[in-house]
Structures are given as C-alpha cells and as structure tokens.
Structure 1
C-alpha cells in the first residue's frame, strides 16, 4: 500500500436462499459507500444465499452472474469488492471469497480453509488448501473467512506474505460476539496491519447475528464500527500506520523461528 484510501464494511440480514433480495441490499450499500469515495468494500460471508446448504448446487449456478454484476459495480465505482459465495467445481462446493479489484477484474479467489464443524459446514463444503494474498491496486491484501479468525497461523502467514491489510467475511453469532472483537483486534495487533471485517445481522436457524462489523488499525484500535443494525461503515486506511508500527516494534525481525520448531 502506498496511498491513503477509504475501506468500508457492509452488514445486513442475509436472507437464506433469496439471491435477488440480497443483491438488491448490496447494491444500495455499494452506492452509499461509493458516494463517500470508499475504495474497498467487504461483504458478509455467503452474501448471496447464506447457508442454504440443501440448495447449494443450484445457487452456485448463479455465482458467475453475481460476480459479473459485482465486477460492473467495481468498475463503475472504482471500488474493490470482497465477499464469499458458493462455488462449484467438479461436483464439490466451496465457500469462496472473490476479490474484485477497482478495475472490475478478479484479482483472487480464496476457498475457506477452516470449516466450522459445530454447524456442520464440513458436511456440505470442501475445505480450501491455499493461502491467498492479492496484489490489488490498493496494495497487498490477505483474504480470510469467519472461523479462520480463530487460527493465528493463517493471519501470520498472510503477514509473512506481505499483507498490510486483511479482509474477513463472516457470519459470527451473537453469543460469541466478545470473541469476534477480541480476535479481530488481536490479529491486527500481532501482525501490525489493518483488519477490515464484515459480519451479518439478523437470525437464521435459531442463531442471532449481531453485526458489529469493524475496521481495526495496526495498533488494534477500532476505527470504524457498524453497530448492530443493517448498516455500513468506513474508515481511512493510512499505509504509514503499518510502516510506523512495524518500525517501532519490529516483530518480523525479532521472530525466533529457529526456536519455535
């Protein structure tokens, strides 16, 4: 990252199986954030259809058209867009984050590495096997999804791959909301980078979702917060904050990899 820019997060009640309704909500938020000159927007996990797991193969047939629509918005608004939706390949379904750059082109796809067994994700989805950073027009950005947040090894790998900012799409429930904020801030602090994290609102399958989408800076300070209703928020991303923090406390230099094993 070389220049300052604005990053935003979107949160809404992702309606299970209702692709058009969800896309209509998203288009409204993108327009709002574009009016604020936001250059990067992160959407919730499975933003197109939520975890409508029994119908994933059908929903995945719409994925390419959805990506094309978002690419149009990205190019029109000069805005990078990231979020996850179902992707099918050779009969397997993946929870895939797509990163569309400000030129409307796909710069990277990341398949969720850590599937959440507590809600049976492993029964419907195939786990990814690659760590992904993208070299975007905004800088080098790492990609993560929801449960990945609990695995510091992944965020550290993105840091070591040169990421100065990590985006996260999530469906993180109300009753673990304390973990959400603590982990977002911890990943920012320990890797000295920005975290831009979107979480949904609403209820589904007996679970309530609090929103609480946020952006944390390399000090771990929350610099944007979307509250607990359908909304969006944004903050300025200053690459000097990453550089200054990594110079002040040079964790990458002081690591003792020969001891860690």
Structure 2
C-alpha cells in the first residue's frame, strides 16, 4: 500500500521587509508541525520579505538569503522534519552582464538538514519581470525525497499545464507550490465583474491540475489581515476528493493533514493519465511555438 504522509501547510502573514519577525513566526509554525508528527512543512513565496522590490531596503534584504537558508537547514535537522521554506529571493552577481540579478528560489530541505532540491521560478508574473531573472529553458526537475518523488513550482507557474506535465513525465507524485497570490492580482475590469476572481482562479485551477495529472498539490499562499487583498486559500489538494484541507480565510495559520497517496493510485487507475504520457506514440509530444530546425 502507498504510504500516508502527515504534512503541514503554513499560511504566513509576510510582513514587508520584517525578515527576522517573519522568520521567527515561520519557525514557530514549523515547530508546531513537528510536534504534531508532520514529515513536511511548507511556507509561502516571499515569506521573509513580501514583494516590495522598489523599496530601497529590498535589495539589501536579498543579500541575507544564506543566513536564513542555513537557519532552516539547522531547524530541519533539529526537528527531523522536511522543510520547503517557501521562496527566498537571492541577489547574485551576473558575471556575463557584470550586474546583479535576483532569483526567486524554492528549496527542499530533508529531515537531515540537507538540501536535496532547488528550483528557480520560471514563469514570472508580469510585475516581477522588471526585477527577477527567470530560470528560462532549464528543465523542471523531480527530486527523490522522504515523501517520494516531488516536483516544485512557484506561484504563476500554476497557470502553465506544461510545467506539470514535465514533472509528471518524470514520475512526480507530489507538486509543492509556494505562492504569494493576492485578490488584487487582477485588472479593475476583472474585479468589477468578480471581486473574488483570483480566489476562483486558485480553487478551480488547483483542483483541475490534480485531476489532469493524477498528482497531489501542496499549495502554501501568503495571508494577512482582512480587507488588504490577501487571498490565503492554502490547501492540500488531490484528485477524486479536492482539498483535503483548506484555509478558507486569509488569516495567518497552519493546517495539518494526512496525505494518503493511495488516492493518486486510484485516480490513475481511473484516468490513466500517466499511462498515456508514457506511450511511445503519445500524440502530444511537441513543444509550443517551436519549429524544428531543418
């Protein structure tokens, strides 16, 4: 029988540029998850800094990434828990262009405090493109973890089925998605039609992705006080059932759930998505908007 894994999704209020405060609250939630027997705890995107790239303090804050990554590694080893510390924005020197570049990075830290997975955000949301460097054409990787084969995506990657297909084709059963997605990530015309348009996007797309890939999704979004546009909705989602647990409000909090991987086997037996993808004559073996060179 496939295993059952106890996991925690943490919906943190990512206060702008309050790195130490955000970090300490994140650690407290992770400790709470460990005391409840969790094997994995997942934090949101931008959980240390929030997304304020034009603030003059933002770039210096991004220079501290190693300090906080090291702290999470030590915490994972101490508590014997796997941690995906949301994303951490890192400032690096681009030697080719002789300028700085910012990377939005998710890490998978195992329960021995070792980094066994790293993913740099590929699909940048429109306001990010002025500031961040995408991982471009780098291949999406799948990592062998204590919970099995895991893939990682970040926020706007959710909108691209191709990203999931690339991970599923490599055998990923669990997709972890740290996110900082707000209700205000919508044009005024969209909000006029539906003030909860982005919540509808998240709930419907997360469930759809689990069905069309027979996978589980661990989705950790930023939260915060009501009335400020935070979406929340952090959840663990599987096919056949939908959300196993879902933080319905935007308030900061933690949700712990038993993730039964037998659900994925049942869904695959019903839909046989992975079986089709593995066929030698599978008819969708192409890449969008690319022509073969003659």
Asked if these proteins are the same fold (TM beyond 0.5), I'd say: yes
Q: What's 1:258 paired with?
A: 283
How far apart, in 2, do the equivalents of 1:116 and 1:59 lie?
21
**Cα distance change on mapping 1:153 and 1:259 into 2, 3 Å:** closer
5+ unaligned residues in a row in structure 2: which ranges?
94-99, 184-195, 287-294
Q: What's 1:137 paired with?
A: 146
**Cα distance change on mapping 1:72 and 1:182 into 2, 3 Å:** same
- Is the aligned partner of 1:69 residue 2:88? no
How far apart, in 2, do the equivalents of 1:37 and 1:5 lie?
10
Could you say which structure has the higher strand fraction? 1
Shift of 1:135: 1.1
Shift of 1:44: 0.7
Output the TM-score relative to the length of structure 2: 0.82
Match for residue 116 of structure 1 among 125, 140, 143: 125
Q: What's 2:203 paired with?
A: 181
Secondary structure in 2 matching 1:108: strand
Summarize the alignment of residues 182-201 of structure 1 with structure 2, pairs less than 5 Å apart.
Answer: 182-201=204-223
Shift of 1:259: 5.3
Aligned residue pairs, count: 258
Contact kept in structure 2, 1:2 and 1:139, CA below 8 Å: no
Shift of 1:220: 4.9
Shift of 1:164: 0.4
- Is the aligned partner of 1:157 residue 2:166? yes
Q: C-alpha offsets along residues 54-90 of structure 1, whole Å, 9 cap, x if unaligned?
A: 3443112211110111111111222111110101222
How far apart, in 1, do the equivalents of 2:167 and 2:241 lie?
17
Summarize the alignment of residues 215-254 of structure 1 with structure 2, pairs less than 5 Å apart.
Answer: 215-228=236-249, 229-254=251-276
**Cα distance change on mapping 1:250 and 1:57 into 2, 3 Å:** same
Secondary structure in 1 matching 2:108: strand
Q: What's 2:80 paired with?
A: 78
Q: C-alpha offsets along residues 106-161 of structure 1, whole Å, 9 cap, x if unaligned?
A: 111111111111xx200110011331321112211110111111111101111111
- Is the aligned partner of 1:87 residue 2:90? yes
How far apart, in 2, do the equivalents of 1:225 and 1:50 lie?
22
How far apart, in 1, do the equivalents of 2:284 and 2:272 lie?
18
Q: C-alpha offsets along residues 217-247 of structure 1, whole Å, 9 cap, x if unaligned?
A: 1325110112311111021122222222212
Contact kept in structure 2, 1:189 and 1:220, CA below 8 Å: no
Q: What's 1:25 paired with?
A: 25
Match for residue 234 of structure 2 among 185, 201, 213: 213
Match for residue 114 of structure 2 among 87, 105, 122: 105
Output the TM-score relative to the length of structure 1: 0.92
Contact kept in structure 2, 1:201 and 1:208, CA below 8 Å: no
**Cα distance change on mapping 1:156 and 1:220 into 2, 3 Å:** farther
Q: C-alpha offsets along residues 144-197 of structure 1, whole Å, 9 cap, x if unaligned?
A: 111111111101111111100000111111241110111111111111011000
Structure ID, larger Rg: 2
5+ unaligned residues in a row in structure 1: which ranges?
none
Q: What's 1:11 paired with?
A: 11
Contact kept in structure 1, 2:215 and 2:238, CA below 8 Å: yes
How far apart, in 2, do the equivalents of 1:199 and 1:145 lie?
10
**Cα distance change on mapping 1:36 and 1:12 into 2, 3 Å:** same
Contact kept in structure 1, 2:13 and 2:47, CA below 8 Å: no
- Is the aligned partner of 1:167 residue 2:176? yes
